[in-house]
Amino acid sequence: MRSAYGESLVNLGTKYSNIVCVGGDTTDSLKTKKFGEKFPERLFNVGIAEANLVSIAAGLAIAGKISFASTYAAFIPGRCLDQIRNAICYPNLNVKIVVSHAGLSVGPDGASHQQIEDISIMRSLPNMRVLVPADAPSVKKLLEKIVQIPGPFYVRLARPSTEELYPEETDFEIGKGKVVTDGKDLSIFACGTMVSASQKASDTLKKEHGISCRVVDMYSIKPIDADLIYKCTKETGSLISVEEHNIVGGLGSAISEVTSDICPTFVRKIGIADKFGESARDEEIDSLLHKYGLSPKEIVRNALELKKREKK
């Protein structure tokens, strides 16, 4: 996903001469260095000063630029919420915040660098829209969309390489979700790295338990696809949400806000259970995700429990 971001930024920069990028000593990791090599006068590396980073991006937006602001999710929004709220969202400026290293899967840096509250934080801000793509093709397509839509966006990327779920030509709409696997007994809504995990869980549920599970990539968390949530509730009954994020305020909470208003049903939230993460080497990431309930095996277990609950 990071490589897709870097490539897309170069391509978009070629098409739109008013695109600029502001980074914070993570241009190698975020792959925005490629943009700087192509357009050195349009990349601004401000160092480890995230409050300045987003404020400078806001100033460039006032000057008519499409500003991309990028670093690790632990630092944006982790170290500059005040500036995002008051300098970007309140005046509704054209700043696209694209971050990486979100969730638990950041490697050995531990809880201080595992941003698991950002979806909740960012979707609570007026004017901010929140996207969590699942693979490289969706990153590219969503970036093409957001440069054409004025105003702030928050795009959340993960550190690890991810399985490609979509052909390059697949289209994505802001405010919509996408059914990646159809089913009739249960719907799983996932975002980011958890879409592929949910697909694997759906395969197991079908093969080993005879449960036909619909998997929805809910890459647009704000605005969210209320029509699709309603449709799935009516057609498949109970819902499961899966996210590499705290269960408080994230995708599951956003779905529950919809169901409580228009289509009451059970919503089983699978995520990080309101606790901090812990460190793990790259080769231990799968074990860490399993420990925190985010492996395909844990999704299967939760789905079986939910189906039992439906029968009571």
- Per residue in 79-113, pLDDT (tens digit) is 999 999 999 999 999 999 999 999 999 989 899 99
Q: Which of 37, 41, 50, 235 is catalytic?
A: 50
Residue 83 lies in a domain: yes
Task: Let me know whether 118 and 225 are in one domain.
Answer: no
pLDDT beyond 80 at 20 = yes
Task: Let me know whether 186 and 272 are in one domain.
Answer: yes
- Total domain count for the chain? 2
**Residue 288 parent element (H or E):** helix 285-291
Read off the CATH number of the domain in which 253 is found. Answer: 3.40.50.920
Give me the chain's average pLDDT, please: 96
pLDDT at residue number 312: 63
pLDDT tens readout for residues 210-236: 999 999 999 999 999 999 999 999 999
Distances from the Cα of 131 to the Cα of 86, 181, 276, 290, 311, angstroms: 21, 20, 23, 24, 35
Residues contacting residue 56 through CB under 8 Å, at least 6 positions apart: 22, 44, 46
Tell me if residue 173 is catalytic: no
Read off the CATH number of the domain in which 41 is found. Answer: 3.40.50.970
- Residue 205 lies in domain: 178-311
Alpha carbons 262 and 229: distance in angstroms, whole number: 10
Sheet containing strand 66-72, edge to edge, reads 43-45, 19-23, 66-72, 95-100, 153-156, 129-131, 220-222
Categorize the per-residue pLDDT at 45 as very low, low, confident or very high, splitting at 50, 70 and 90.
Answer: very high
With both helix axes pointing from N to C terminus, report the angle between 2-15 and 136-146 in degrees, rounded to the nearest 10. 30
Report the percent of the chain where pLDDT is more than 70.
100
pLDDT beyond 80 at 293 = yes
Task: Let me know whether 36 and 128 are in one domain.
Answer: yes
Task: Let me know whether 129 and 12 are in one domain.
Answer: yes
Task: Let me know whether 30 and 150 are in one domain.
Answer: yes
Last residue of a domain, one of 103, 124, 156: 156
In the numeric block, the tokens 């799968």 are attached to 286
